Amino acid sequence: MCIACLPRHGFSRREMLKLSALFTAAGALPLLRAAEARAQEADAPVRIGYLPITDATPLLVAHANGLLEAEGLKAEKPVLLRSWAQVIEAFISGQVNVIHLLSPMTMWARFGSGAPARVVAWNHVSGSALTVSPDIASVADLAGKTVGVPFWYSIHNVVVQKLLRENGLTPVTKKTGAPAANEVNLVVMAPADMPPALASRQVAGYIVAEPFNAVAEAQGIGKVLRFTGDVWKDHACCVVFMHERDLDGRPEWSQKVVNAIVKAQLWTRANRSETARLLSKDGPNRYTPHAQAVLDKVLAPPAGDTEAYLKSGAIRHADWKEKRIDFQPYPFPSYTEELVRSLKGTLIEGDATFLSRLDPATAAKELVDDRFVKTALAASGGLPAFGFPAAFTRTEVIAP
């Protein structure tokens, strides 16, 4: 595959270089200094930064339904950003103060660049899939082909590499030349560029958050080969990331933000089709460019979808009773610990030496601040209100 031939609106080389620079403490330093100046705003409103994907749902619902204001907070209209580089840059520099971020990227931000920020909650569970061309019948059929991932530090990259290795394939990152017969070339692409690349056969598949898998289905250019939640049960994808200066300096403010996010998740679970309307391009705030029918496919799937996916093999663990996307805010330590272990064995481009220094249990404690979400859950019926067991511990289940 010609990497230079990827769609021009995607993850440009400039974006990749920018993120690579931010992977270092030195690269993040100028932005951190800018953030220090903005930190003088003691009464700064809630400023949400997001990508137009379903991962942002709780943040957008909290804004749309006035849940932030109901907590007594000032809130600006969420800022739509076009790439993870923009999200990170806006957050580290203090332009936005509440974001959803790929869970592995939070490790990079915290431990790779020294960003003083922590995970306060999960935004959702599952909500991603491996989508392939119609002629691909199995993971093994990806041999010698190219697959798109949204970023090296993503649960998508972790899961797809697990699937490839389970099928005797070796993930590689070739810039030139074709992959060997037992290799699968991985390339980073912006989610919005994945369906066009699949349609034009520049990639044989991609693994990404919704609704871009549903987009491929709606356009008839691809099919879901596996749902990631059917590989790693109830995994987090995007999490809520906030500045330590807010968590420690404005704990009451931070608690109210998390309260609103938890209430937004509860509302979303009970109003899935209405949520699709709110997020759609025809919704009152036009948060995303997606049609409601596509978002309904993810948030409120038609009857019969599960049976069809069981028949095709996209779902293999019917007993897990996974939804295409679900919502549960508690950041289980076991997940973060297993994610650290998994990332250590995942092919990642760039300088990832910080991963070798991370102890899973210590990293989970330093990265996650769960005091606010525990309080918010206690006031909202606890985890059982979200259809999950009450305990704040669990065992990770990964079964390709």
Which residues lie across from 80 on neighbouring strands?
A: 50
Query: CA separation (Å) from 84 to 20, 255, 392?
Result: 12, 26, 30
313 within a domain of the structure (yes/no): no
Residue where one domain finishes, among candidates 233, 266, 283 = 233
Burial 159-188 (b: 16+ CB within 10 A, else e): bbbbbbbeeebebeeeeeeebeeebbbbbb
Are residue 220 and residue 146 in the same domain, yes or no? yes
- What pLDDT score does 112 carry? 84
53 within a domain of the structure (yes/no): yes
Cβ atoms < 10 Å from Cβ of 326:
20
Residue where one domain finishes, among candidates 183, 206, 233 = 233
Q: Give CA torsion, residues 268, 269, 270, 271, to 10 deg.
A: 40
Between CA 168 and CA 40 the distance in angstroms is 54
Residues in CB range of 376: below 8 A, 6 or more apart:
121, 255, 258, 259, 261, 262, 263, 329
- Condensed to tens digits (0 to 9), the pLDDT of residues 287-344 reads 999 999 999 999 999 989 999 999 999 999 999 999 999 999 999 999 999 999 999 9
36 within a domain of the structure (yes/no): no
Are residue 243 and residue 355 in the same domain, yes or no? yes
| Model pTM score | 0.91
Query: CA separation (Å) from 357 to 26, 121, 207, 332, 360?
Result: 18, 24, 28, 21, 10
Provide the CATH number for the domain around residue 339: 3.40.190.10
The token pair at 204 is 């044989």
377 within a domain of the structure (yes/no): yes
Nearest CA-CA partner of 151 in 198, 201, 186, 99: 186
317 within a domain of the structure (yes/no): no
- What pLDDT score does 115 carry? 84
18 within a domain of the structure (yes/no): no
- What pLDDT score does 18 carry? 57
- Condensed to tens digits (0 to 9), the pLDDT of residues 268-287 reads 999 999 999 999 999 999 99
Collapsing DSSP states into helix, strand and coil, what is residue 208?
strand
Are residue 223 and residue 371 in the same domain, yes or no? no
Are residue 182 and residue 286 in the same domain, yes or no? no
Domain count, the chain: 2
Burial 116-155 (b: 16+ CB within 10 A, else e): ebbbbbbbbbbbbbbbbbeebeebebbbebbbbbbbbbbb
Q: Give CA torsion, residues 31, 36, 40, 41, to 10 deg.
A: 30
Residue where one domain finishes, among candidates 233, 252, 283 = 233
Residue length of the chain: 400
Which residues lie across from 31 on neighbouring strands?
A: none
Nearest CA-CA partner of 185 in 21, 349, 341: 349
**How is the beta sheet containing 48-50 ordered, strand by strand?**
79-80, 48-50, 98-102, 238-243, 117-122
Which residues lie across from 100 on neighbouring strands?
A: 240
Between CA 348 and CA 191 the distance in angstroms is 18
What kind and span of H or E run contains 128?
strand 128-132
- What pLDDT score does 28 carry? 54
> In terms of residue numbers, what domain contains 75?
42-125+235-299+323-398
**Number of helical H runs and strand E runs in the chain:** 18, 13
2 within a domain of the structure (yes/no): no
Between CA 139 and CA 160 the distance in angstroms is 9
Between CA 224 and CA 314 the distance in angstroms is 6
Are residue 121 and residue 266 in the same domain, yes or no? yes
User: In the chain, what is the greatest distance between 2 CA atoms, to the nearest angstrom?
Assistant: 59
- What pLDDT score does 10 carry? 40
Are residue 120 and residue 251 in the same domain, yes or no? yes
Residue ranges of the chain with pLDDT lower than 70? 1-42
Between CA 128 and CA 134 the distance in angstroms is 18
Taking the mean position of all CA atoms in its chain, how far away is CA 83? 12
The token pair at 160 is 């797809």
Are residue 279 and residue 222 in the same domain, yes or no? no
**Integer distance in angstroms from the first to the last C-alpha of the chain?**
27
- What pLDDT score does 42 carry? 64
Are residue 183 and residue 293 in the same domain, yes or no? no
